[in-house]
Amino acid sequence: MENSSRGRRGLGRNKSSAPNPVDTHVGTRVRLRRTLLGMSQEKLGEAIGLTFQQVQKYERGANRIGASRLYDLSQVLDVPVSFFFDDMPEGTLSSIDSATGLGLSEGSQSSFSHHADPMSQPDTAELARAFSSLDDVVVRRRIYDLARSLAVPFGAEEPAGDEENS
């Protein structure tokens, strides 16, 4: 007998419930890679036969991405399929396991990182894309040094080995 909370298609969700955390993470990774490539939602949609609205839904996690579509995305975005699952937040898998009553073996969880990906932030991706487009090596080094100096907490010493002779 089928479990009514799982529905016809498996571990789905009701229309009124929030997106599945895995779908949201995968969508975030699609958006990250698309942004890093400087590709619009419209261009990505054209490349895989979708409208930009459908791409938006994928990126928000509102719509699930099927296996064949995920493969198409990996080809267009020039990344392995595993890229979309990299840096999965630690709580994502355990919340799904407890909600569904299904567990993953310890070995299968080890393939996911337990650290949040700072590149998943849209402003970080934009900054990385802008930085990589700079041709002047001196300007790049100055921006890098500025960012490092701002990242050091006020009053703390910089890490050893990174000082320049004055």
pLDDT value for 7: 44
pLDDT value for 19: 83
Question: Cβ neighbours of residue 119 under 8 Å, at least 6 residues apart?
Answer: 32, 125, 128
pLDDT value for 107: 41
Note whether 65 and 58 are within 8 A (CB): yes
d(CA 113, CA 90): 7
Note whether 42 and 52 are within 8 A (CB): yes
pLDDT value for 45: 95
d(CA 159, CA 40): 39
Side-chain half-sphere exposure of 48, counting CA atoms within 13 A: 27
Domains of the chain: 21-117 (1.10.260.40)
d(CA 81, CA 70): 7
Helical packing angle, 122-132 and 21-36, nearest 10°:
20
pLDDT value for 115: 42
pLDDT value for 18: 81
Per-residue pLDDT of the chain (166 residues; tens, 9 = 90+): 444 444 444 455 555 578 889 999 999 999 999 988 889 999 999 999 999 999 999 999 999 999 999 999 999 999 999 988 888 877 766 555 455 444 444 444 433 333 455 666 667 777 877 888 888 889 888 988 888 888 766 555 555 554 444 4
d(CA 31, CA 121): 10
d(CA 106, CA 157): 40
pLDDT value for 87: 82
